[in-house]
Amino acid sequence: MKLKLIYTFLFLNAILTAVPAVSQGHLTLSIQPSDSIEFIRGADVSFLPQIEDLGGVYRVNGVPQDLLKIFKDNGLNYIRLKLWHTPSEDYNDLDHILEMAKRIEQQDMKFLLDFHYSDTWADPGKQNKPAAWAGLPFVVLQDSIYLYTKKVLRALYDQHTLPEMVQLGNEINPGILWNDGRVGGSFDNSGQWSNLGELLKQAVRGVRESCAAGDSVRILIHIANAADNGGCRWFYDRLIAQGVKFDIIGLSFYPWWHGTLNQVRANLNDLAGRYDKDIVIAETAYPWTMQWFDSRGNIVGSTNQLHAGYPATVDGQSAFLRDLIKIIKNVKNDKGIGVFYWEPEYISVQPTGSPWENCTLFDFSGNVLPTLDIFKEKPVEFTPVNVTIRLNTSTLADTLREHHFAQIRGQVDGTSIDNLPDGKRISWDSDSDLILKNIGGDYWEISFQMYPEDELSLKFWTGFNANTGTFQRLGWEGAITPFGEFTGNRRVFVAGVKDTVLSLQYFNSTSENKAQYWRPFESKEDSLTLYFRVNMLKAMTSGRFDPETNGPVSVRGDATLSGGALDWDISKVKLDRELFSVGNGSFWSGACRIAKNAVNTGDTLRYRFFIENHSQNGWESTVFRTFVYTHNLMENSSDTTLHWVYFPPGTTDIPALKSGLLPACPRILSNYPNPFNQSTRIRFILDSRQYIRISVLNILGTEINMLLDKVGDKGTHEVEWNGTDRDGKTQASGLYFIILKSEKTTKSIKIAMIK
């Protein structure tokens, strides 16, 4: 099979070399690396020849079988072998590599060759030169690594077992071929990194020039500690800066040395985005027991070395491997391409024994463990879902405006960590990318992606900008009891399999613990809830309002267009003082419930704030405040928060307004054309010279454009709207409101735009 693929490659390569590039409309031939198609499920079995020579046997249901066939039958598709230059024992040498490569070929499996560039183990603790290269001048050392690499690949090619992948060095965090190619510690300088770069470039050259198919071999650069993001970035940043060309990042992960699965997940996702290279876990393992079979001490001999949540049992080993594969498979941008289990065949045979006997995939008698079934499982692939979170800051104890700042800070546990599927970073500090967008008044919203079953923990943070928090707790909201069975001071959401818009959440400014989905009022199906909020700070500082003497503050307004919930003569809605708010409790707020059947979409409610216990005139010096009953409010029964406003500091000469004694009003006439496509004209009539403001609101009640803001003369006037917002962006088809506000009143009409 492998021979046929190589010859196919050579044939197509000859065609592509002989035929010049063609333009559009002609057939384009390309060869996709096989690794990009099939997830790597591999094993390093470098001890196999020695174990077999000493009488080791592997069994399935008690029946002896060839190890590679067992692996093939259980879903493995890749074998990794280490190569030592001139080992003291007659193993891990080129002759054994050639024989093992033939066996790999017979099982139609793929092959990763691991150059140690040493006569013995090479790892982060030692990278000693082969004895044959000791004392060579650096220029000769470069030539040696080139010729040696080329010779090995040529020998494999000549017997039609060229590896699909080659690893240049083993766990080379500290470099290779000490001290010439050593880096890190006192060797962490530009000269040493240049040396390492030159040595690896010569090794790459040896692969590429070994044979006609040398360019088809994928090159892997391997370091230890897949849980160490800082260490990985330190190494690959500097290596890539040397111009070393390689295809795959290879990492080792052993929990007892390196860290946790969550740290691996975060690191792999960061490396995938940072370097845009495929990533493979080149070594991993986990114990299935803490018992031992021989007298040789085991590397994993204490329960303190285990990963939390994964006991040293067959089930624990299986869960660890399954979860690691899941993490790799779901690395962002599809850059996680596979895993190699290190020495799953390293059972104890005499006289050598095995310090790895409890980390194999076979029991002490060589019987296959159920863990091997994990490789037959199809790796779980998750499709990200879209999550929308909405926040209402009407309950924030400070003066947050639309141009200010709201942010989600927290963490995600599960398939994602730190970086969400869409690339957004989430953290408990100011670096979090989950910044909410103001969508009008006190409403804020953000959409992002999560993987199904991932758990998001969060708190809201608000500020006047990204660095200056609001009044209480330096921007943080107060204590929150999470929804459902969760515990802790946080909000929690677990992603499902469908896109989700979470229920509106309110910022908690109080010192009291609030439930995650608490509301400052009760919602009912047959009514709308308007939440009024006013800041009395200016009135307090001017001396007009003393909370202890003059309070409370109320809302009065049009009885007809509030279904009797408001009145110009009686204070039916009295607001409560927010004692924990900014300015020594300057905010007053409260809810007004209006029957749905009392109002219609497009109606405009007029209201004003009123000081209840004022010795003279309690009215605020504002002619009218207005509110439009939007389609979204009427049809979806959402709540409405009237964005907070300041109560003016001075008094007014305007008399208390009676519902039956309203002053004469300007008129706004129907627009033409209506519906319209490109533009429409709006006519209005003024009964006297006066200030006039005409604006456009979308169906959510958000002002998107201002058409007129000036003093107008008595008479009939006309203004045009071309269907854009204040930034000139064309709006979508739908209903809009034209609002005319004068010194005397506010009027509105509905218009329809069709594109």
CA 378 to chain centre: 24
Helix 138-158 to helix 94-106 angle (10° resolution) is 40
- Look up 283 and say whether it is catalytic: yes
Helix 229-241 to helix 190-208 angle (10° resolution) is 70
Q: Can you point out the beta strands (E) in 510-652? A: 514-515, 527-535, 553-557, 573-574, 576-577, 587-595, 604-611, 625-628, 640-641, 645-646
Q: Amino acid identity, residue 333?
A: N
Helix segments in 1-137, DSSP class H = 2-18, 48-53, 67-73, 94-106
DSSP letter at 349?
-
Helix segments in 159-260, DSSP class H = 190-208, 229-241, 255-258
Mapping DSSP to helix (H, G, I), strand (E, B) and coil, where does residue 208 land? helix
Euclidean distance between CA atoms 84 and 152, whole angstroms: 11
Which residue in 105, 164, 198, 283 is the catalytic one? 283
Task: Give the contacts of 8 (CB within 8 A, at least 6 positions apart).
Answer: none
Whole-angstrom CA distances from 483 to 154, 310, 507, 521 are 63, 28, 15, 18
Number of Cβ within 10 Å of residue 107's Cβ equals 19
Indicate the Cα dihedral angle 338, 343, 344, 347, nearest 10°. Answer: 180
Euclidean distance between CA atoms 175 and 124, whole angstroms: 8
Residue 101's nearest CA partner among 41, 161, 165 is 161
Residue 320: its H or E element? helix 314-329
In degrees rounded to 5, what are phi and psi of residue 112? -115, 120
Helix 261-275 to helix 314-329 angle (10° resolution) is 20
Euclidean distance between CA atoms 503 and 520, whole angstroms: 14
- Look up 620 and say whether it is catalytic: no
Euclidean distance between CA atoms 353 and 289, whole angstroms: 17
Which residue in 171, 198, 343, 345 is the catalytic one? 171
CA 586 to chain centre: 39
Euclidean distance between CA atoms 665 and 448, whole angstroms: 47
Residues 376 and 75: beta-carbon distance below 8 Å: yes
Strands 500-501 and 385-392, by their bridges, are parallel
Residues 551 and 613: beta-carbon distance below 8 Å: yes
CA 213 to chain centre: 40
Positions marked active-site: 171, 283
